[in-house]
Structure 1
Amino acid sequence: MNQNKLFNRTRWQLALSYAAVMGLILSLLGLGVYEAIAHAHWVAIDRELESVAGTLHDSLETKLQQPGRLEPIVNELLPNLRVIGVNGIKDKEQLPDRHILSAINQSFYYIRLFDNSGNLIATAGAYPEELPPTFNSQHWQTITDSQGNIYHQISVVLHTNTQENWGYFQVGRSLEDFNDYLSTVKLILKLGLPTALILVGFSSWWLAGLAMKPIYASYRQIQQFTADAAHELRTPLAASQATVESALLMPQLDEKEAREILRTVERQNRRLTQLVADLLLLARMDNQAIRDRPQLCCLNDLVSDLVEELAALAIASKVALTSSVRVQQQLNVVGNSDQLYRLVANLIVNAIQYTPPGGKVTVILDCSHQEAIVQVQDTGIGIAAADLERIFDRFYRVNSDRSRHTGGSGLGLAIAQTIARAHRGSLSARSELGSGSTFLLQLPL
């Protein structure tokens, strides 16, 4: 198939199409996965900040007494509390380490306290010094410091224990770990997508080859059929042409010569007519199953009639033709009786033609598992194993020199196989070279 430019180009086009579609799907899927992971982490971060801020907010409000003033007890709640004084930041004395609000002890959380005017009063936790001290009253904020680091924070209003406005309370955290995680996800996707596309490319090439195989087989079959049909049609046409040309070269023709020429032309025309009729039958049966007024056909009568009618051909070939009916009841099948007649006749005629003088042909009628079985056995020349797989191909002959001493066109078994399939049956053969052949026809009762 790769040697054929048309199919090779088509295979490349299919492979590239598959790869492009899969690449687009994988890219969209990767983008969707990334967005889903990022959204899930944003939601998790927001919930963490809300939880920490809510816990601290509720604890602080019960201890605050005057607006803008930090009570000493706040040190027990906020680790590393640093109060902003007039002359800058002064660290207050830290209390011994306690297992209090462990979330604030993590390196990425910080706290800021503002008064009602928006002035920074104190910080706690892992407070980054590069953050701008300006106050923003928005509930959720994402800010960037002078070093380019990104932080996410939440702002809430603080009240005293008497429900006066004390100021504002902010809890934030660094997004460095979050960005590092997303960077890792991006790297995995960037490396994984090209790798997946390479695998998809090879798979697409392989799948395109699988998809093209039956098409290529049909193409080769059509090519072979066209060549064989042309060969079969050329022979009688050439014979007729040669006969006519030789007649035209003769100065005069008597009645006997003219009749002989006409008989030759008539014989070749009859052969052409039969060949065209066979081809039309195969084409018609390929397009539709047997639905033309199906009727009951008695195989007992069919076999006995054929054995009787072909007895003369068997005698002329010095072959013994017999039948063996191994059932007591009548075997009826639904179908076209004329075509079934032709099917079995083709098998018997083939058996007679390929059986040497003194041989024997036996037609056996039997049934099994709701199927009628017709076997045509002969003691002829047999069929080689290499030819056995192709004997039902159109125009195929076992003898490679395509001799026509039998007068056939190579369509008999192809027609028989097509008729069997049209009747929901099967036709098979088993044979050994020099030991005869058996053709087995199975039809549903």
Structure 2
Amino acid sequence: MNKELSKKHRIRFFFMNVFAFACIFFALGLIVLNVLNLSAYRETDDILKATTLRSPIVQLELERYEQHDPSYNNRMNGAATPFRGGMSNNFNTQVILWSKEGEILNTDTLGGRFTQFQNLSLNPNSLDTIDSIEIQDTASENTAAFHSITLKNTSTANEDVAYIQVLANTNQIRSAMANFQVILILCMVLFWFLSIGVSYYLSSLSMKPILASWKQQQEFVENASHELRTPLTIIQNSLQHLFTKPTHTIIDESESIAQALTETRRLTGLTNDLLVIARNDSNQQTLHAEQIFIQPFLQELVKPFQEMAQLDQKVFLYESTVSSDATWIFDEKKIHQVMVILLDNALKYTNSGDTVKLISTLHAKEWQIDVQNTGPSISDDDKKHIFDRFYREDRSRSKETGGYGLGLAIAKQIVTEHRGTILIKDVQPKGVCFQVKLPKHALKEALSKKKNN
């Protein structure tokens, strides 16, 4: 992936993240404001809805109007009569008595506040409902906000009073809401600017796996092309050589034919390995988990390698602490492939007289398999790349053994699919050990699904 294309993708991810953060903050702000707006006025509206003609605050105002005495409440032990529900007849709560003609009757009780309510008009079509109104004071030119409820007077005691309106001042609530809204918007803007930096970081972070995958794919193609070129060139040269000797028999050119067949077999093995890796990368491979007896599985597995070691004058040891009836859940074919890769490498990279040892140990939560050999050690730098594709510690020696550096990469893929681990460590005083650990319940769910199906 070139730098220009990478830059375009990064810019695209950046703006996508910025837009996503903006939408999240905007939606969050709307939700918070709506919830706070509803909860801020809820208590006031609930008290207004509970207001009736028998409410103390209404009765007190009617008694003041009948007595023509605005200070009537001061005669009752010098204190105002409280209104059940939390409101009292004070500056924040006011009762307006209306005539049928829409005139305010209790002007004496309102006193100096009458100038504030003289622009108020009666709305007899909105009874028993909460209204939000704003009243502008002509004297101070200030606007006051109220929530109100209008009740129809059905009592015959006060015939002049047709309607009763209770108003609760909400200036403080509205001011608090306005301040909160400003603070919320400033915070949203501030955090949105911070999200720009986060978006830039996330866009760079999101590009890393893409670039890594692209680099891995590019290296894979380059290495595969390089490995394919060699056997194809040899096959081509062998066939061209046959055309230069048209009179020769098969026996005469058996060496060239054998060389071509050898490279064809190597080419077939390479393409099969490439196909396995490609399928694993695209998640096309599936695990066929089964309950397998460990001992019979390994005993059958090591037989051909014991014979190969004997022919090469090498020592092959198999040690196991696993009981004969112990079982484990895994894909038999794939773990068999892993063991073949590890044992084959152990035999290839050892000399006559060396020892190859397979150790099987069963723990409480994992099955551990160690493949050890007393061959040459592997440097720490090589250990870091030993499971990379097409990596070979000694290319000249790998050519002799027919390796392409794909076996250990395939082994690691299979072990990872089993949610296990594979690592390499030194064996003292000489040699290396490949250690595979398969967890106990990693594929138990897959096996249960298979049984249910």
Superposition TM-score, scaled by structure 2 size: 0.73
CA RMSD of aligned residues (A): 4.3
Flag the structure with larger Rg: 1
Change (3 A) 1:281 1:310: farther
Structure with bigger strand share is 1
Letter in 1 for 2:267: L
The answer to whether 1:325 aligns with 2:319 is: yes
Letter in 2 for 1:144: I
1:274 shift after superposition? 2.0
Counterpart CA distance in 1 for 2:336 and 2:123 is 97
Counterpart CA distance in 1 for 2:164 and 2:158 is 15
Counterpart CA distance in 2 for 1:432 and 1:155 is 93
Which of 167, 170, 178 is matched with 1:183 structurally? 178
Please name the residue that 2:33 is paired with.
34
Counterpart CA distance in 2 for 1:294 and 1:282 is 26
Please name the residue that 1:144 is paired with.
135
1:340 shift after superposition? 5.5
Counterpart CA distance in 2 for 1:158 and 1:333 is 86
Please name the residue that 2:80 is paired with.
100
Counterpart CA distance in 1 for 2:167 and 2:150 is 9
Counterpart CA distance in 1 for 2:4 and 2:428 is 39
The answer to whether 1:287 aligns with 2:273 is: no
Letter in 2 for 1:325: E
Which of 224, 227, 233 is matched with 2:228 structurally? 233
The answer to whether 1:396 aligns with 2:391 is: yes
1:187 shift after superposition? 0.2
Q: Is the CA contact (8 Å cut-off) linking 1:62 and 1:160 kept in structure 2?
A: no
Counterpart CA distance in 2 for 1:134 and 1:421 is 78
The answer to whether 1:16 aligns with 2:21 is: no
Map 1:7-406 → 2, pairs under 5 A:
7-47=6-46, 54-62=55-63, 71-77=67-73, 98-100=78-80, 107-110=91-94, 112-121=96-105, 122-123=107-108, 124=110, 127=113, 129=115, 131-133=117-119, 135-138=121-124, 139=127, 140=131, 142-145=133-136, 146=138, 147=141, 149-152=143-146, 153-156=148-151, 162-166=157-161, 168-172=163-167, 174-245=169-240, 254-255=248-249, 258-283=253-278, 287-291=284-288, 297-312=296-311, 314-315=312-313, 320-327=314-321, 330=324, 343-355=338-350, 357=351, 360-369=354-363, 373-399=368-394, 404-406=399-401
Q: Is the CA contact (8 Å cut-off) linking 1:361 and 1:376 kept in structure 2?
A: no
Change (3 A) 1:128 1:18: farther
Alpha-carbon displacement from aligned partner over 1:153-193 (angstroms, at most 9, x marks no partner):
44445688845344555443554333322211220221122
Alpha-carbon displacement from aligned partner over 1:260-317 (angstroms, at most 9, x marks no partner):
33333233222212212332344456633453999765312432431112332x34xx
Letter in 1 for 2:255: E
Counterpart CA distance in 2 for 1:154 and 1:161 is 21
Change (3 A) 1:253 1:141: closer
For structure 1, which segment, 227-236 or 381-390, has the greater mean C-alpha deviation from structure 2 after superposition? 381-390
SS at match of 2:176: helix
For structure 1, which segment, 187-196 or 301-310, has the greater mean C-alpha deviation from structure 2 after superposition? 301-310
1:232 shift after superposition? 0.5
Q: What runs of 5+ residues in structure 2 fail to find an aligned partner?
A: 441-453
1:6 shift after superposition? 4.0
1:438 shift after superposition? 0.8
Counterpart CA distance in 2 for 1:381 and 1:432 is 10
SS at match of 2:67: coil
Counterpart CA distance in 1 for 2:155 and 2:338 is 105
Counterpart CA distance in 2 for 1:415 and 1:99 is 90
Counterpart CA distance in 2 for 1:328 and 1:174 is 83
Change (3 A) 1:194 1:62: closer
Q: What runs of 5+ residues in structure 1 fail to find an aligned partner?
A: 65-69, 79-94
Please name the residue that 1:86 is paired with.
none
Please name the residue that 2:449 is paired with.
none
Counterpart CA distance in 1 for 2:430 and 2:320 is 24
Counterpart CA distance in 2 for 1:335 and 1:55 is 80
Q: Is the CA contact (8 Å cut-off) linking 1:113 and 1:168 kept in structure 2?
A: yes
Which of 396, 406, 429 is matched with 2:424 structurally? 429
Equivalent pairs counted in the alignment come to: 416
Alpha-carbon displacement from aligned partner over 1:358-390 (angstroms, at most 9, x marks no partner):
662222333323766543322322222232233
Counterpart CA distance in 2 for 1:173 and 1:444 is 69
Q: Is the CA contact (8 Å cut-off) linking 1:61 and 1:161 kept in structure 2?
A: no
Counterpart CA distance in 2 for 1:56 and 1:136 is 20
For structure 1, which segment, 235-244 or 127-136, has the greater mean C-alpha deviation from structure 2 after superposition? 127-136
Letter in 2 for 1:390: H
Change (3 A) 1:275 1:203: same
Change (3 A) 1:327 1:74: closer
Q: Is the CA contact (8 Å cut-off) linking 2:346 and 2:372 kept in structure 1?
A: yes
Change (3 A) 1:235 1:155: same
Counterpart CA distance in 2 for 1:175 and 1:419 is 70
Change (3 A) 1:169 1:422: closer
Change (3 A) 1:328 1:18: closer
Q: Is the CA contact (8 Å cut-off) linking 2:321 and 2:360 kept in structure 1?
A: yes
Change (3 A) 1:175 1:421: closer
Letter in 1 for 2:58: H
Change (3 A) 1:120 1:413: closer
Superposition TM-score, scaled by structure 1 size: 0.74
Change (3 A) 1:367 1:104: closer
1:225 shift after superposition? 1.6
